[in-house]
Amino acid sequence: AELSSVNDEWVRQLAGRPLFKVIDEKSDFAAGADVQVKVVMQGGQAVLLAHGPWFLVTFVETALLQYLASTMTRELCSRGDKGWTDWCTEALLTFALTAHAVQEGLHAPKRGLTAFFSSRRAPHAAFHLLQHRYLQTLWPTFLTSSLFAGRALGGQKLVGTWAHEGTMAMAALWGEELDTRLPLSSLLWTLLFWAVTGNRTVLPDAFGSATFKHMLVDLDLLDEAGLVRQDSGSLERFAAIFPSCKKMASEVEAFADIERALEHGYALIGAGGFFGEKRLTLKDLSCAAKI
């Protein structure tokens, strides 16, 4: 019932089409053109699962992440100021500890470039801007992927390796015409992005890494890829698909993942959720600095 409000908000924007259909926890997902969603209990936690065409599922993921964040904010505020203050204090402390770990281990000794990647998953706009204000003080020349912070605060240097949104939009607009046999809409988006930005990154996970690689080979474009980014699936399988390309592992969550990535030839590594957005244990705070 709670999730229906998300659907109601999107139906108006999708010409009457629901964003997803909620099914019972015990029901199996069915193949089709629509997204199905169900809530199940795993390890004592409520987990929301979605099934359907990948670009529609990604739209659903973004909408539900925003909804869950606003729900948490509303619940905290309804308990009075203390509930909100406690959460914000904990999140900012996590963020500050991680930022200073990166400062001491990476930035101060000039061992690398510092960039802050936090966009559609940032749970609260005000907290997101506070993070950027803090980093502006700590690292006056830091880079961010947040267009929102760049517009709201100004003075931000923007950087990014494009995520899934561009390919989602291209597939939504022309997928039926282009993607009958291969994900050509995704390849076309990639080539347009290369042409406009000069940033020759490839993010193939969402539509099949092996398939995307073979399309690049057929067009004699594999050697043109400056970086291939692993965003889902195993590090080992992705490395086997792209043995000769420069690779980035962007789903690192523990120190063991760093070791495995280095063993399989990954040149760049990224970590998500260590800056206050997720409630991770204190032992993981140094992971960003270790990277």
Q: Read off the DSSP letter of residue 207.
A: G
- Show the beta-strand stretches assigned E in the chain: 21-22, 36-42, 45-51, 115-116, 143-144, 157-158, 201-202, 227-230, 247-252, 268-271
Which residue ranges make up each domain of the chain? 4-78
Cβ 14 vs Cβ 58: under 8 Å:
no
Q: In whole angstroms, give the CA distance from residue 31 to residue 93.
A: 44
Which region holds residue 44: left if phi is over 0, alpha if psi is between -120 and 50, else beta? Answer: left
- Show the beta-strand stretches assigned E in 195-276: 201-202, 227-230, 247-252, 268-271
Short-list 103, 171, 191, 168, CA closest to 141:
103
Cross-strand partners of 49: 38
Q: What is the pLDDT along the chain (291 residues), one digit of tens a residue?
A: 577 777 777 776 667 778 888 899 899 999 888 889 998 998 888 888 989 877 678 778 777 877 777 777 677 677 665 656 777 777 788 788 878 877 887 778 887 777 777 655 555 778 888 888 888 888 877 788 787 888 888 887 877 666 777 777 787 778 778 877 888 888 898 999 899 888 898 888 655 788 889 999 999 999 999 999 988 778 999 999 999 999 999 878 777 888 899 999 998 887 665 555 555 554 555 565 556
Q: In whole angstroms, give the CA distance from residue 249 to residue 162.
A: 14
Tokens of 45: 């936690």
pLDDT at 104: 81
First-last CA distance in the chain: 42
Neighbouring CB atoms inside 10 A of 39's CB total 14
Neighbouring CB atoms inside 10 A of 230's CB total 27
Q: Using alpha carbons only, what angle is made at residue 99 by residues 98 and 102, rounded to the nearest 5 degrees?
A: 90
